[in-house]
Amino acid sequence: MKKCAIVYNPESGKPKDKKDINSLPSILEVNGYDAVLCPTKAPKDAVRIVSTLPDDIDLVICCGGDGTLNEGVTGNLMRKKKLLMAHLPVGTVNDVGTMYGFTKNMVINSQMLTSGSVRNIDVCMINGKPFVYVACVGSYVDVSYNTPRDLKKKYGRLGYIFNALSEFKDSVKLFNLTYNIDGKTVSGTYSFVFITNTCRIGGFDNIYSDVKLDDDKFEVVLCTAKTKAELAVIAGKILAGQIKSMPGLEYYKTNYFKVVFEEEPPSWVIDGEEYKHNSKTFEFTINKEVNMLLPKKNIVKLFNSLEEINGKIDKG
């Protein structure tokens, strides 16, 4: 049988999710995997677990929220021998899991995964640190990691909104910065910087309609809005799919982006978690070392290449 490690955050999700996770080894056994549960015990513990797994592990499933997947990918990139990764969403918003095509049913998701397709995915990097789908800096974006857990458990996605509304009374942070992209240099004052490789952010779908996870590109958006009223107008148009061609936003699709802040900015948010730093300069690149086992549901939408990579798991 194939060997599988299930790395999961015991604090993510609802009681039913925990029950489903405990049943995963028996579900996977039917599909040819000898699975072991590897619970995290502290923040960033999934990094340690994945980075130290034996080389003979055939599949690593990160079972949790987007942050748990980020930690798993981070740990995998620390390894000399990279392992095949997978994701099963258990959390409040689950942007990445939804983008991949998963449902809210763990049994169905497990079946979709084990009959899935192996793909090489683009992993974005910020100063050498990986993120799977989003890195951003600006006012109010920290609600993704500073919303109290009990608020998230009680209200789900609404918990983030309640917390964001409480922060919206604060003024908009502005940053003087210079960025280099596609051979040009631009300087100005901005309120937000977003680097993404996703069609879904914060529970909102179709932010972009043409995202591909294997095109060696990521999306960059810088916002010049300076007031809450301007931000409200821009947010509405973004949700209407006008992100690429509207005043107040500068949009690019590229594989390299460098930004230098005049003063050290606050923590970035990467994949919903806080990224602390002591830098004014940030470089964004693409890493191509991660292979993921994904459900076939959204393969045509998310990938340019429709051929599975070598090394597909044999379930026989």
Stretch 84-101: mean pLDDT: 90
Q: What is the pLDDT of residue 172?
A: 85
Residue 272 — pLDDT band, cuts 50, 70, 90? Answer: confident
Q: Which two tokens stand for residue 212?
A: 């591909």
CATH of the domain spanning 129-287? 2.60.200.40
Residues carrying CATH 2.60.200.40, the chain: 129-287
In tens, the pLDDT along 148-161 reads 455 445 445 444 44
In tens, the pLDDT along 229-271 reads 888 888 777 777 778 778 889 999 999 999 999 999 999 999 9
Residue 163 — pLDDT band, cuts 50, 70, 90? Answer: very low
Residue % of the chain over a pLDDT of 70? 85
99 has a pLDDT exceeding 60: yes
Stretch 177-205: mean pLDDT: 92
Mean pLDDT over the full length of the chain: 86
280 has a pLDDT exceeding 60: yes
DSSP symbols for the chain: -EEEEEEE-TTSS-HHHHHHHHHHHHHHHHTTEEEEEEE--STTHHHHHHHTS-TT--EEEEEESHHHHHHHHHHHHTSSS---EEEEE-SSS-HHHHHHT--S-HHHHHHHHHT-EEEEEEEEEETTEEESSEEEEETTTTHHHHS-HHHHHHHTHHHHHHHHHHHTTSPPP-EEEEEEETTEEEEEEESEEEEE--S-BTTB--S-S---TTSS-EEEEEE---SHHHHHHHHHHHHTT-TTS-TTEEEEEES-EEEEESS----EEETTEEE----SEEEEEEEEEEEEEE-STTHHHH-S--SPPTTPPP--
pLDDT higher at 250 or 147:
250
Q: What is the pLDDT of residue 159?
A: 41
145 has a pLDDT exceeding 60: no
Residue 139 — pLDDT band, cuts 50, 70, 90? Answer: confident
Nearest CA among 315, 295, 301 for reference residue 119: 295
314 has a pLDDT exceeding 60: no
How many angstroms from the chain centroid is the CA of residue 130? 10
Q: What is the pLDDT of residue 142?
A: 61
What Å distances lie between residue 44 and 50, 69, 176, 216, 274, CA to CA? Answer: 11, 11, 32, 27, 11
Residue % of the chain over a pLDDT of 90? 61
Residues carrying CATH 3.40.50.10330, the chain: 2-122+289-302
Stretch 111-125: mean pLDDT: 95
Stretch 10-37: mean pLDDT: 84
179 has a pLDDT exceeding 90: yes
User: What's the angle, vertex CA 78, arms to CA 2 and CA 66, rounded to 5?
Assistant: 75
Compute the distance between CA of residue 24 and CA of residue 37 in angstroms, rounded to an integer: 9
Residue 213 — pLDDT band, cuts 50, 70, 90? Answer: very high
CATH of the domain spanning 2-122+289-302? 3.40.50.10330
Stretch 67-79: mean pLDDT: 96
